């Protein structure tokens, strides 16, 4: 692993930094919008910023230029993501840019690309992912949502769950079973579904932090044109695997963890021994902060390892699982430490609360970190089998 940029990489990093210095709106620089997510009300706030990014092809930097991207190399993408994360730049692309767009570029028809890619870049269409089901999460290939051919359409019945942003999405990329008699990985197809289709019902779910970040979605005789299948019929599992392959270094998460910890340490120093929070500064808590600081740097180094492999043309597998597992469990440890540092103030929520009430929320939302994106158990299985060569259980 080389920690230094080469000449071309250093020049690109300087270009990104100068762009952010001159073009990033002041209202974004404290990170408030980045913390609130990309749903209700965010599109209008980001409209001008989106246009500036689009002019450079930086909304979708990995996409080929012919589709509105910038054709950046792996290292350039990494540098851009790292610098954007360091400056708390709010994301603008969503799942359209990071997941379904690259999948369409790889597997889609020209008609599908023409219909969807430009609207993904403009931001006028938001996407959600229809993969997980109540009985098919970690073992996703066991999904039971059915799609049955009827003329020029497929009729879909079933349910999806934990669908992030479904209540705000215009389209869904989803997998459904089209051949129930085939082995479970070989009877699945990948569909693009208009969320306004008759028979689609979205029910927002409320998490522990009283947020509606995801929904359950029900399909009752929903008709989807056969032209909306991406890739080959009954080979959607392999198309879906492509969707899950993008941005594996997780540098944004690693930097975000580090920035969050830096803020927590500053707060601890500024409030040491003051008022009712005095008990938050026992030696044990200071020791925890030191541990978290070391761990945050380890998370970043793991991201560097993954992108170094990608830049060399290698495919990180168990290495990406190690990075995800470590970062998700670290986010939970930081949330617990944050509550200890703030003491009773850690129970407060809202703009007027210390640190904007971040830890009241993160303590509860971080519980899902070791479930979303592949459970810790799944990640450990991958590490054991593909990294350590251990047999399947």
Q: Which residues are catalytic?
A: 247
* Residues β-bridged to residue 194: 171
Of the candidates 379, 77, 383, the one whose C-alpha atom is nearest the C-alpha of residue 252 is 77
Q: Report d(CA 93, CA 96) in Å as an integer.
A: 6
Handedness of CA 320, 134, 139, 387 (dihedral sign): positive
Contacts of 317 by beta carbon, 8 Å cutoff, 6+ apart: 382, 386, 387
* Residues β-bridged to residue 321: none
Handedness of CA 188, 193, 199, 205 (dihedral sign): positive
- In the chain, where does DSSP find H-type helix? 7-23, 32-36, 42-45, 47-56, 74-86, 94-95, 101-107, 110-122, 236-243, 251-270, 283-311, 318-342, 358-365, 376-382
Contacts of 181 by beta carbon, 8 Å cutoff, 6+ apart: 187
CB–CB of 123/92 below 8 Å? yes
Contacts of 232 by beta carbon, 8 Å cutoff, 6+ apart: none
């Amino acid at each position: 692993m080389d920690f230094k940029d080469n000449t071309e990489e250093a020049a690109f990093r300087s270009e990104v930094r100068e762009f952010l210095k001159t073009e990033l709106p002041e209202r974004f620089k404290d990170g408030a919008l980045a913390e609130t997510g990309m749903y209700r009300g965010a599109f209008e706030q980001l409209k001008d910023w989106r246009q500036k990014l689009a002019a450079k092809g930086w909304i979708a930097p990995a996409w080929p230029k012919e589709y509105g991207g910038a054709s950046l190399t792996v290292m350039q993408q990494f540098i851009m993501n790292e610098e954007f994360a360091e400056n708390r730049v709010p994301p603008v692309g969503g799942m359209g840019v990071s997941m379904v767009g690259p999948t369409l570029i790889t597997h889609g028809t020209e008609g599908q690309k023409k219909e969807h890619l430009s609207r993904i870049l403009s931001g006028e269409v938001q996407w959600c992912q229809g993969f997980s089901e109540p009985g098919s999460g970690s073992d996703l290939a066991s999904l039971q949502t059915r799609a049955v051919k009827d003329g020029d359409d497929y009729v879909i019945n079933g349910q999806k769950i934990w669908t992030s942003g479904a209540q705000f999405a215009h389209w869904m990329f989803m997998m459904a079973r089209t051949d129930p008699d085939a082995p479970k990985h070989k009877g699945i197809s990948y569909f693009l579904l208009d969320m306004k289709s008759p028979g689609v019902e979205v029910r927002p779910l409320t998490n522990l932090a009283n947020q509606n970040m995801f929904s359950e979605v029900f399909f009752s005789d929903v008709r989807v044109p056969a032209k909306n299948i991406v890739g080959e019929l009954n080979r959607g599992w392999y198309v879906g695997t492509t969707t899950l392959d993008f941005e594996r270094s997780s540098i944004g998460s690693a930097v975000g963890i580090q920035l969050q910890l830096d803020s927590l340490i500053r707060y601890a120093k500024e409030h040491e021994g003051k008022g009712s929070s005095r008990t938050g500064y026992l030696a044990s808590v200071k020791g925890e902060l030191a541990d978290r600081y070391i761990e945050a740097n380890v998370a970043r180094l793991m991201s560097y390892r993954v992108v170094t492999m990608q830049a060399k043309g290698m495919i990180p597998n168990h290495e990406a699982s190690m990075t995800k597992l470590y970062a998700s469990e670290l986010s939970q440890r930081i949330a617990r430490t944050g509550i200890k540092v703030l003491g009773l103030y850690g129970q407060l929520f809202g703009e007027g609360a210390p640190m904007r009430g971040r830890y009241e929320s993160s303590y509860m939302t971080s519980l899902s970190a070791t479930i979303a994106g592949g459970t810790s158990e799944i990640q450990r299985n991958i590490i054991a089998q593909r990294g350590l060569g251990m047999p399947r259980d």
